Structure 1
C-alpha cells in the first residue's frame, strides 16, 4: 500500500518541454542606445568654428591689429591664392616626411623597447644613454644632421624619426614592465614559452600604453618635421612658415599653422580609430558610458 508521501509525489503535475521558439527577455535583447556624448562631440567640432568667428569679429572691429593677427577670411584667401596644385605639393612633401620618419622611428622603438622591457640587464645598459639623447632639443640635431647627411631628404626624415622614437620607446618599456605580475605567473604555471608569454600576455596587456606612446610620437613627428623644414627645405609647410616670416606675411604663417593643425588632428584621429579597433576587447570604465549615460 502506497504511503501518503508516495501518493503526493505521483500526484504532482508534470511539465512538458517548450517546443516553440525561445524568446529572449526584453532586458537581454540587443539595443542601440543613444550616445550620450554626441552633443558634446558636436560642440567640440563647433568650438573651433566659433573661435574663428570670434577672431574674425575682433580683427574686423580693429580690436586686434590685422598686421599681427590676420582675419581667418584673409588666411583662407591666401591659401586659395596659393593654388591647389602648389598647396598639394607642400602638404604632400611634409606628409611624406612625417610618415616615413614616423614609420622608421616607431619600428626601431618597438624593437629596442621590447628588448629592454624583457631584459632588465639591457635596460640598465642602454637607459642612461637614451635618456641623455632624449633631452637634446630638436633644433640641436639639425646642424649635426646637415653636416653628416647634407641637405637632401635624409636629414629631414632622420630628424622626424628621432622625434617619434623616444615617446614610443618609453611607452613600450613602461608598458611591458607594468604588466601585472599575476598574469606573468599565470603564464609560467601554464608552462607557456617565452614567445607565447610575450604574444599572449605581455603584448596585449601593454598595448593601451603603447598606443598612447604612438599618438604622442606622431604629434612630435609633426613638430620635428617643421624644425627640419625651417632650416633647409624648398617645399613643405615648414618652408611656408619660413617664407612667411622672411617676407613679413602673417597670413601665410597662420595659414601654414592652420594646415599643420588640421593634418595633425586628422592623422591622430586615424590612429585613435585604429586603437579603438585593436583594443575593442577591453572592458574599461568608459566602455559602458553608452548604456549608463555620461556624467
Structure 2
C-alpha cells in the first residue's frame, strides 16, 4: 500500500468527536528537486553543446557535419525564403494521407479479425505473412503499379503504418478481460452493446500504442518514399543537398522530421490522457 501524507492534521490535539475532513495525499504525488519539464531538455542540450565544442576544437570536420550554429542559420534562411515551409507542407500531406489510408485499413481488418472468429480465420494468417515483407523492398513494385507520382509515396506510407495498428488493435481486442465480458452478458448487454461498452474501451490503450508506432513508421516510410523521383517535399530537399554536399541542409531536414514526429507523438499522448482518464495507471516513481 502506498504511503500517504496527512495534511492539516494534528495527531496530538485531535478531537475524536471532530468531523473535520483530513486531506490525504499519496506520497508519490509529492515532487522533489528539479521539475520534470526542466529536466527533459537537459539531454538534448548536452548533446548539442558537445557537438558544437567538437567542431570548435577540430575534432569533428565541418565539411562532414555542419556545426549546430551553421544548422541554425541555414534553418533561418530556408524558413525566410519559404523553401522549408513548402517542403514541410508537402511531406505532411503525404504522411497524413498515408496514415489515414493505412490506419483505416489496419483498424478495419483488426476489428474483423478480433471480433469474429470467421474474420480471424480469413484475415489474420494473410496479414501476418504480408507484414514480414520489408516495405522498402516494395518501392520498385509500387513504381511499376502506380508510376512515379504521388500515389506510390502515399501507398508506401499506408503499407508501413497499417500493420502496427492491426497488430495492436487485434491484440487489444483479444486481451480484454473475459470476466468483464461475462459480467456484461450477465447484465443483458447484446453483441453491439458488448462491443461498444466493453471490448472497444478495453482495447483502446493498445490501439493508441499502435497509433504511436504507426506515426513513427510513417516518417520512416516517408523518407524512403520521397526518394522516388520527388520534386517537392523534405526528401527532395535532402536529395538536392546531397548533390551539393550541404550537410547543414540535410541536418535541418532530419531535425524537422524528428520535431514533426515528436509533435504528433505529443498529440497522441494528450489523446491518451483525455480518452483514458477513466483508467489510472502507474506514471513512474
Pick the TM interval, shorter chain. 0.7 to 0.9
User: What is the distance in 1 between the residues matched to 2:33 and 2:144?
Assistant: 52
User: What is the distance in 2 between the residues matched to 1:38 and 1:98?
Assistant: 37
Higher relative contact order (CA 8 A, sep 6+): 1
User: What is the distance in 1 between the residues matched to 2:32 and 2:97?
Assistant: 39
| Residue 256 of structure 1, aligned match among 244, 253, 256 | 253
Partner of 2:35: 39
Deviation (angstroms), 1:191: 2.1
Flag the 1:253–1:54 CA change in 2: closer, same or farther, 3 A.
same
User: What is the distance in 2 between the residues matched to 1:35 and 1:277?
Assistant: 23
Deviation (angstroms), 1:37: 8.7
Name the SS for the 2:41 alignment partner: helix
Large movers: runs of 4+ above 3 Å = 33-38
CA deviations 1:197-253 (Å, max 9, x no partner) are 011000111111110000000110111111110122111112222222222222221
2:28 aligned with 1:27: no
CA deviations 1:74-133 (Å, max 9, x no partner) are 112222222431110001111111111111111121211111001223223222221222
Q: Which moved more, 1:120-129 or 1:165-174?
A: 120-129
2:240 aligned with 1:243: yes
Q: Is the 8 A contact 2:161 2:218 kept in 1?
A: yes
User: What is the distance in 1 between the residues matched to 2:172 and 2:180?
Assistant: 14
| Residue 135 of structure 1, aligned match among 121, 132, 136 | 132
User: What is the distance in 1 between the residues matched to 2:50 and 2:24?
Assistant: 49
2:177 aligned with 1:180: yes
Root-mean-square deviation over aligned CA pairs: 2.0
CA deviations 1:255-284 (Å, max 9, x no partner) are 111111111101110111111111011122
Deviation (angstroms), 1:187: 1.4
> Whose helix proportion is higher, 1 or 2?
1
Flag the 1:171–1:36 CA change in 2: closer, same or farther, 3 A.
farther
| Residue 66 of structure 1, aligned match among 62, 72, 97 | 62
Name the SS for the 1:230 alignment partner: coil
- Structure 2: give runs of 5+ residues left out of the alignment: 1-17
Q: Which moved more, 1:246-255 or 1:257-266?
A: 246-255
- TM-score (ref. length: structure 2): 0.86
2:195 aligned with 1:195: no
User: What is the distance in 2 between the residues matched to 1:116 and 1:25?
Assistant: 52
User: What is the distance in 2 between the residues matched to 1:129 and 1:141?
Assistant: 17
Q: Is the 8 A contact 2:153 2:228 kept in 1?
A: no
Q: Which moved more, 1:132-141 or 1:88-97?
A: 132-141
Name the SS for the 1:285 alignment partner: coil
CA deviations 1:23-44 (Å, max 9, x no partner) are 8513169xxx665596233211
- Structure 1: give runs of 5+ residues left out of the alignment: 1-21, 287-293
2:81 aligned with 1:53: no
Q: Is the 8 A contact 1:151 1:232 kept in 2?
A: yes
| Residue 218 of structure 1, aligned match among 204, 210, 215 | 215
User: What is the distance in 2 between the residues matched to 1:247 and 1:124?
Assistant: 53
Flag the 1:280–1:36 CA change in 2: closer, same or farther, 3 A.
farther
Q: Is the 8 A contact 1:138 1:227 kept in 2?
A: no
Deviation (angstroms), 1:165: 0.5
Partner of 2:282: 285
Partner of 2:71: 75
Larger gyration radius, structure 1 or structure 2: 1
Q: Is the 8 A contact 2:91 2:234 kept in 1?
A: yes
Q: Which moved more, 1:133-142 or 1:77-86?
A: 77-86
